[in-house]
Structure 1
Amino acid sequence: MTTTLHRSVARSPRTVTRSPRRAPVRVERPVDAFRHIGPNWFAVVMGTGIIATAAATLPVQPHGLRGAATVVWVLAAALLVVITGAFAAHWVRHPEAARAHGRHPVMSHFYGAPPMALMTVGAGTLLLGSDVIGMSAAVAVDWVLWSSGTVLGLLTAVAIPYRMITGQRPQADAAFGGWLMPVVPPMVSAATGALLVPHLPAGQARLTMMLGCLAMFGLSLIAAVLTITLIWSRLLHFGPPAKEAVATVWIVLGPLGQAVTAAGMLANAAPSALPELYAKGLLAFSVVFGVATWGFAMLWLGLAMAVTLRHRTVMPFNLTWWGFTFPVGTCVTGSSVLFAHTGADLFAIAAVALYLMLVGFWVLVAARTLSGVRHGGLLRPPAPVPA
């Protein structure tokens, strides 16, 4: 979620010199607009789609909310089509730039965004789109998007860490929130795949789907915990990231909230796929694990807010700001599922408060993104590394 590919995300704002303000960029040819379309652009779809899916799960459903959420789902689906087309044109017209993204130590991590965008829109199709296109069509669309996103997500979960292991060694202060992007998609697969379990034939089909989602839950959870530990250590030893990447601190909320959501959604699906003993055990696990993980997520939310407020006057706008949306949205869905399983008003209040925060962030970031596209600022070439 960063358009400044050659900026150092590891450098603290205290060591970064201000670069002169550049004039708005005018795209001379339509084809030039695709030159700098990277995988980070799919964060726009993620951040928009989570507005819709989080609304569908809220404990409080005021009149008109579902209709508004459905409109947002349509917008997210349209954005997915447009950005996928632009990304394909980027690969066709500028293959050298596209390959460079895959090799870049920062941008390569954001290849985790396309699969999550696919599955976010797919979940919205099942939860909200069924009112528009019918349940049968919604299930079919979700299967296509979920399957595509899952395959791509598993590939990124292996390929990007492999490149890190076998490629150039990162600096000691290189860890940042973007490192989580390649390993989170399987957790999204687990959460959204749980919605599809009841739509499979009873027996081996449901059992296989259920166990596959549980395996992806564990795959992503353990990888995320290891990565969050590295990010925590980096922040303690080297301070906040560069001002251009402060928003990436919020990405840590993504796997935390998504893990709570996935555990709860899998517990909901378990009775139709697993023996009663295991289904009850998974429900108990989802509550105990979910509450504990939710607590750490709230701690990280406080830290992310404090770091952001401290640097609010020096943070330039870029696509990393979409990190304010999807990760917070997963905390909304996690709080909602905990309320459904515990009946504790604490989680209902938290879900509503976090959703209001999410909507506020989305309005701000969407407006800035639209302005950046209109004036060409988000289509300019990467800036050099600050001295």
Structure 2
Amino acid sequence: MDTTALDEERRTSAPHDSRLGIRGRLRHFTWAWFTLTMSTGGLAVLLNRTPHKFRGLITIGTIIFIFNLILFLCLITAIITRFLVDSKALRRSLFHPTESLFFPCFWLSMSTILLGTQAYGVPSSGPWLPVVLRVLFWIYLVCTFTVAVIQYYILFTGEHLTIHSMTPSWIMPVFPVMLCGTLASVLAADQPPDQGLPIIVAGVTFQGLGIFVSMIMYPLYLGRLIGDGLPAIDLRPGMFISVGPPAFTSLALIGMANSLPSNYNFLSTHPLSTEVLQTMALFTACFLWALGFWFFCISAISCVSGLRNMSFHLTWWAFVFPNVGFTIATIDIGTQFQSQGILWVGSAMTILLVVIWCFVFLNHINAVRQRKILWPGRDEDKEG
């Protein structure tokens, strides 16, 4: 769909009555709003991981983490209100061919909260918090794997999407379970060996599931781009979703390899295995980082070429979240190679993402105020 057609659809679908109240607007509060919290939570985690810290940066990161928790509670309240106002809205949202693809954003927001809790909570809490995070990890794994199976089943049997409409958002149902590897890479280090190793094994397993499903989707995506061209200008930020799988897999492999409990179980009988796995993880991460960088360049050029005509859409948050993973992967690779040059690139990317987050957040607020979103016919729940 080109920009002219998209604008015409918005004009014809929006009601003339501008007096729609809060209750009426909340009827159009979709799962896509959780792109806000998954990006904000990701930014908080990134500030904790950036290599060149100044005094007070951790405090700023903590404030953003707490702010994200407040936002998350507000979003949950808003979407529950929508489902209470319209009793059929929940089922429609989970079966809608567009809105349902954003349901995983809720779980991705949960993953960033767990990552932020590990980063900002564990260092200043007692031994009870790692235990809580361990339990939540396994609950998260079961829930997100269930989502990945059921949601793809619904997509296979419901209202069919065509290859001509293919976007990287088709990867989204498997994205939350893929982040089990990212969670494992940071949680396992503070767990006892008998608990940490199973977490790492689970992380590797489901990170592998996520990256392989993504690899299956990529040919469809590239075929769509070659055959039908770029997405509508407003939706091009969503192209950055393709950066996420290789980027998060890179950082997950490095983190899990470095968190392996030495001299325990299998590792104790194969004393060289830890060093071998860490080396393999690092070079595999470089291999995948290049794929993420290629997708990043294609996405960036596509967005810049249409920036002047681009109107806000909730997919703009794809400017942030996938690139959080890409930035952390860059930082981890620089750390492993002990390269100050790469680490400074990672720090520069962090600053750029902070600026981009501010830019998208301000446009998000302005879009609500100007009724560009949260309005009949202008959100992911629209029909047709």
Tell me the TM-score normalized by structure 2.
0.89
Deviations 1:356-380 (A, max 9, x none): 2211110011111122334554220
| 1:42-61 deviation per Cα after TM superposition (whole angstroms, max 9, x unaligned) | 11011101111111111211
Q: Is the 8 A contact 1:191 1:261 kept in 2?
A: yes
Task: Give distance in 1, aligned partners of 2:6 and 2:310.
Answer: 12
Give percent identity, aligned residues only: 22
Give 1:13 deviation, angstroms. Answer: 4.4
Out of 189, 197, 221, the position equivalent to 1:198 is 189
Q: What displacement does 1:223 show?
A: 0.6
Instruction: Please list, as runs of the form range in 1=range in 2, the aligned pairs for 1:205-244 lying within 5 A after superposition.
Output: 205-244=195-234
Is 1:252 the counterpart of 2:242? The answer is yes
User: How much has 1:313 moved relative to structure 2?
Assistant: 1.9
> Relative to structure 1, is the Cα distance of residues 25 and 321 closer, same or farther in structure 2, using a 3 angstrom cutoff?
farther
Is 2:323 the counterpart of 1:328? yes
Contact 1:336 1:348 in 2 (8 A): yes
Are 1:282 and 2:277 matched, yes or no?
A: yes
Preserved CA contact (<8 Å) 1:257 1:297? yes
* Distance in 1 (alpha carbons) for counterparts of 2:369 and 2:132: 32
SS at match of 2:103: helix
Structure 1 segment 162-173 matched on structure 2, within 5 A: 162-173=153-164
Specify the code of the residue in structure 1 equivalent to 2:361.
A
Matches within 5 A, 1:20-99: 25-28=18-21, 30-99=22-91
Deviations 1:271-330 (A, max 9, x none): 356514332232112111111111121121111111001111222112111110101111
Q: Which runs of 5+ in 2 are unaligned?
A: none
Aligned to 1:8: none
For 1:382, the equivalent position in structure 2 comes to 377
2:237–2:315 CA contact under 8 A, matched in 1: yes
State how far apart, in whole Å, the 2-side matches of 1:259 and 1:124 are: 18
Q: Give the match for residue 368 of structure 1.
A: 363
SS, match of residue 161 in structure 1: helix
Work out which of the residue numbers 352, 356, 374 in structure 1 matches 2:351. 356
Structure 2: how far apart are the matches of 1:24 and 1:65? 46
For structure 1, the 5+ residue unaligned runs are 1-10
Does the CA contact (< 8 Å) of 2:193 and 2:261 recur in 1?
Answer: no
1:158 partnered with 2:149: yes
1:149 to 140, 143, 147: 140
Secondary structure at 2:272 match in 1? helix
What are the superposed Cα offsets for residues 229-260 of structure 1, whole Å, 9 maximum, x if unpaired? 22122111111112231111111111121111
CA distance in 1, matches of 2:311, 2:96: 21
Secondary structure, in 3 states, of the residue corresponding to 1:380?
Answer: coil
User: How far apart in 1 are the matches of 2:152 and 2:244?
Assistant: 18
SS, match of residue 181 in structure 1: helix
* Partner SS state of residue 74, structure 1: helix
Query: How far 1:143 moved relative to its partner?
Result: 4.2
Counterpart CA distance in 1 for 2:376 and 2:5 is: 23
**8 A Cα contact 2:10 2:377, kept in partner:** no
Distance 1:80 1:70 in 2: 15
Change (3 A) 1:24 1:271: farther
C-alpha spacing 1:144/1:71, structure 2 compared with 1 (3 Å): farther
Deviation at 1:266, TM superposition (A): 0.6
- Do the aligned partners of residues 373 and 26 (structure 1) sit closer, same or farther apart at CA in structure 2, a change above 3 Å counting? farther
Q: What do the CA deviations read for 1:55-76 (whole angstroms, capped 9, x no partner)?
A: 1111211222111111111111
Amino acid at match of 1:195: V
Q: Which of 100, 118, 130 is the equivalent residue of 2:92?
A: 100
Q: Over aligned residue pairs, what C-alpha RMSD do you find?
A: 2.4
Q: Aligned runs of 1:296-307 on 2, under 5 Å?
A: 296-307=291-302
Q: Per-residue CA shift, 1:167-196, capped at 9, x if unaligned?
A: 343223121021111111122111112322
Q: Which runs of 4+ in 1 moved over 6 A?
A: none
Q: Which amino acid in structure 2 is aligned with residue 252 of structure 1? A: S
Measured at CA, do residues 120 and 26 of structure 1 come closer, stay the same or move farther in structure 2, by a change above 3 Å? farther
Deviation at 1:16, TM superposition (A): 5.2
CA distance in 2, matches of 1:190, 1:20: 40
For residues 129-148 of structure 1, what are the structure 2 equivalents within 5 Å?
129-130=121-122, 134-136=125-127, 138-139=129-130, 142-143=133-134, 146-148=137-139
Question: What is residue 179 of structure 2 aligned with on the other side?
Answer: 188
For residue 88 of structure 1, report the CA deviation from its aligned partner: 2.2
CA contact (8 A) 1:12 1:239 kept: no
Whichever residue aligns with residue 218 of structure 1, its letter is G
Contact kept, 8 Å, 1:210 with 1:270, in 2: the verdict is yes
State the AA in 2 paired with 1:106: T
Listed one character per residue, the Cα deviations across residues 67-119 of structure 1 (whole Å, up to 9, x for unaligned) are: 11111111111111111222222223223222222112221111111111011
CA separation of 1:168 and 1:33: change in aligned 2, threshold 3 A: closer
Contact 1:115 1:148 in 2 (8 A): no
Q: Is residue 197–residue 260 contact of structure 2 (8 Å, CA) maintained in 1?
A: no
Q: Which residue of 1 aligns with 2:120?
A: 128
